[in-house]
Structure 1
Amino acid sequence: MEALQEREHAHAAASNQEQPDIARRLEQLTELSVALSSNRDTPSLLENILRVAKDMTHADGGTLYRVTADGSALNFYISLNDTLGLYQHRDIPPGVTIPDLPLRTPQGEKNLASVAAYAANTGKSVNIEDVYGAEGFNFSGMRQFDQTFGYRSTSFLTVPMQDHEGELIGVLQLINARGADGKGVRAFSTTDQRFIEALASQAAIAITNQHLIGRLETLFESFVQLINIGIDEKSPHTGRHCEQVPHLTMMLAQAASDTDTGALAEFRMTERDRKQLWLAGLLHDCGKITTPVHVVEKATKLQTIYDRIGVVDTRFEVLKRDAEIRALEAKLKAGDALRHAEIDAALAADLAQLDQERDFLRRANVGGEFMQPADQKRVEEIALRRWTDADGAERNLLSAEEVENLTIRAGTLNAEEREIINNHIVVTLRMLESLPWPKHLQQVPEFAGGHHERMDGTGYPRGLTRDQMSVPARIMAIADIFEALTSRDRPYKKPNTLSESLRILGGFSQRNHIDPDLFDVFVREKVYLGYAQRFLDPSQIDEVDETTIPGYVP
Structure 2
Amino acid sequence: MPESTAPDKAPDDQGVNTADYAKLIEIGIALSAERDHHRLLENILLEAKTLCNADGGTLYLCGHMVEHEGEDVFEAEADGKFLKFEIMRTDSLGIAKGGTTGEDIPFPPISVYDVETGEANHKNVASHVAVSGKTVNIPDVYEATEFDFTGPRKFDESTGYRSKSFLNVPLKNHSGEIIGVLQLLNAQGKNGESIPFSAQIVPLIEALASQAAVAVDNQMLIEAQARLMDSFIQLIAGAIDAKSPYTGGHCARVPELAQMLATAAVNADHGELSDFTLDEAGFRELHLASWLHDCGKVVTPEYVVDKATKLETINDRIHEVRMRFEIQKRELEIAYWKQVADGGDRDALKVELDAKLDQIDDDYAFVAECNVGGEFMAPEKVERLKQIAQGTWTRTLDDRIGISHEELRRKEVKPAKAIPAQEFLLADRAEHLFHRDGTFEAPNSEQFGFDMAVPEHLFNRGEIYNLSIARGTLTNEDRYIIQNHIVQTIVMLGQLPFPKHLRKIPEYAGAHHETLIGTGYPRKLSKKDMSVPARIMALADVFEALTAADRPYKKPKTLSDSIKILSFMVKDQHIDPDLFRLLLESGIYKDYAERFLKPEQIDEVDISKYLGA
* TM-score tier (shorter): 0.7 to 0.9
Q: Distance in 1 between matches of 2:335 and 2:608?
A: 62
What letter matches 2:196 in structure 1?
A
Pair 185,529 (structure 1): closer, same or farther in 2 beyond 3 Å:
closer
Q: CA deviation at 1:175?
A: 2.4
What letter matches 1:389 in structure 2?
T
- Answer yes or no: is the 8 Å Cα contact 1:126–1:158 preserved in 2: yes
- Per-residue CA deviations over 1:245-290 (Å, capped at 9, x if unaligned) read 2223223333333332222222233222221111111111111112
Question: Which of 211, 224, 236 is the equivalent residue of 1:227?
Answer: 236
- Answer yes or no: is the 8 Å Cα contact 2:10–2:17 preserved in 1: no
Q: Distance in 2 between matches of 1:488 and 1:329?
A: 58
Question: Which of 456, 465, 473 is the equivalent residue of 1:412?
Answer: 473
In structure 1, stretches of 5+ residues that fail to align are: 1-12
Aligned to 1:158: 168
Q: Distance in 2 between matches of 1:544 and 1:347?
A: 60
What letter matches 2:272 in structure 1?
A
- Answer yes or no: is the 8 Å Cα contact 2:42–2:87 preserved in 1: yes
- Per-residue CA deviations over 1:282-301 (Å, capped at 9, x if unaligned) read 11111111222322232221
Aligned to 1:49: 44
- Counterpart secondary structure, 1:238: coil
1:276 aligns with 2:285: yes
1:202 aligns with 2:211: yes
- Answer yes or no: is the 8 Å Cα contact 1:379–1:403 preserved in 2: no
Question: Which of 390, 393, 409 is the equivalent residue of 1:388?
Answer: 393
- Counterpart secondary structure, 1:272: helix
Question: Which of 406, 415, 425 is the equivalent residue of 2:486?
Answer: 425
Aligned to 1:60: 55
Aligned to 1:3: none
- Counterpart secondary structure, 1:365: helix
- Counterpart secondary structure, 1:278: helix
1:444 aligns with 2:444: no
- Report the more deviating stretch, 325-334 or 55-64: 325-334
What letter matches 2:324 in structure 1?
R
Aligned to 1:34: 30
Aligned to 2:135: 125
- Answer yes or no: is the 8 Å Cα contact 1:298–1:492 preserved in 2: no
1:508 aligns with 2:569: yes
- Answer yes or no: is the 8 Å Cα contact 2:367–2:385 preserved in 1: no
- Answer yes or no: is the 8 Å Cα contact 2:97–2:104 preserved in 1: no
Pair 158,486 (structure 1): closer, same or farther in 2 beyond 3 Å:
closer
What letter matches 1:242 in structure 2?
C
- Counterpart secondary structure, 1:467: helix
Aligned to 1:4: none
- Per-residue CA deviations over 1:436-458 (Å, capped at 9, x if unaligned) read 10111111110001112221112
Q: CA deviation at 1:192?
A: 2.3
Pair 413,199 (structure 1): closer, same or farther in 2 beyond 3 Å:
same
Q: Distance in 2 between matches of 1:435 and 1:374?
A: 49
Pair 336,362 (structure 1): closer, same or farther in 2 beyond 3 Å:
closer
- Answer yes or no: is the 8 Å Cα contact 1:379–1:406 preserved in 2: no
What letter matches 1:30 in structure 2?
E
- Report the more deviating stretch, 460-469 or 227-236: 227-236
Aligned length: 533
- Answer yes or no: is the 8 Å Cα contact 1:286–1:428 preserved in 2: yes
- Counterpart secondary structure, 1:423: helix
Q: Distance in 1 between matches of 2:547 and 2:310?
A: 21
- Per-residue CA deviations over 1:399-451 (Å, capped at 9, x if unaligned) read 13112212223332211222222222111111101111011111111000111
What letter matches 2:563 in structure 1?
L
Question: Which of 78, 91, 96 is the equivalent residue of 1:82?
Answer: 91
Aligned to 1:362: 368
Q: Distance in 1 between matches of 2:587 and 2:157?
A: 60
- Answer yes or no: is the 8 Å Cα contact 1:318–1:387 preserved in 2: no
What letter matches 2:489 in structure 1?
T
- Report the more deviating stretch, 193-202 or 93-102: 93-102
Q: Distance in 2 between matches of 1:253 and 1:99?
A: 37
Q: Distance in 2 between matches of 1:367 and 1:505?
A: 25
Pair 18,87 (structure 1): closer, same or farther in 2 beyond 3 Å:
farther
- TM normalised by structure 2 equals 0.76
- Answer yes or no: is the 8 Å Cα contact 1:155–1:187 preserved in 2: yes
1:263 aligns with 2:291: no
Q: CA deviation at 1:50?
A: 1.8
What letter matches 1:397 in structure 2?
L
Aligned to 2:197: 188
Q: Distance in 2 between matches of 1:356 and 1:147?
A: 95
- Per-residue CA deviations over 1:152-204 (Å, capped at 9, x if unaligned) read 4443322111122111122212222224x553344323442222212212222
- Per-residue CA deviations over 1:298-325 (Å, capped at 9, x if unaligned) read 2221111210112222233334445556
RMSD of Structure 2 on Structure 1 (CA): 3.6
Question: Which of 415, 427, 434 is the equivalent residue of 1:399?
Answer: 427
Pair 495,375 (structure 1): closer, same or farther in 2 beyond 3 Å:
farther
- Report the more deviating stretch, 428-437 or 319-328: 319-328
Q: Distance in 2 between matches of 1:108 and 1:487?
A: 50
- Counterpart secondary structure, 1:83: helix
- Per-residue CA deviations over 1:111-153 (Å, capped at 9, x if unaligned) read 4444333332322222344445556444454445445544444
Q: Distance in 2 between matches of 1:421 and 1:98?
A: 52
Q: How does 1:451-490 map to 2 (within 5 A)?
A: 451-490=512-551
Aligned to 2:455: none
What letter matches 2:321 in structure 1?
V
- Answer yes or no: is the 8 Å Cα contact 2:593–2:602 preserved in 1: yes
- Answer yes or no: is the 8 Å Cα contact 2:45–2:182 preserved in 1: yes
What letter matches 2:475 in structure 1?
N
Pair 186,383 (structure 1): closer, same or farther in 2 beyond 3 Å:
same
- Answer yes or no: is the 8 Å Cα contact 1:454–1:513 preserved in 2: yes
- Answer yes or no: is the 8 Å Cα contact 1:54–1:62 preserved in 2: yes
Aligned to 1:177: 187
- Answer yes or no: is the 8 Å Cα contact 2:395–2:422 preserved in 1: no
- Answer yes or no: is the 8 Å Cα contact 1:450–1:473 preserved in 2: yes
What letter matches 2:223 in structure 1?
G
Q: Per residue, is there more helix in 1 or in 2?
A: 1
- TM normalised by structure 1 equals 0.84
Q: Distance in 1 between matches of 2:265 and 2:504?
A: 18
Aligned to 1:69: 64
- Per-residue CA deviations over 1:453-506 (Å, capped at 9, x if unaligned) read 221112222221111111111111222223333445546555444444334333
In structure 2, stretches of 5+ residues that fail to align are: 1-8, 66-79, 397-419, 429-461
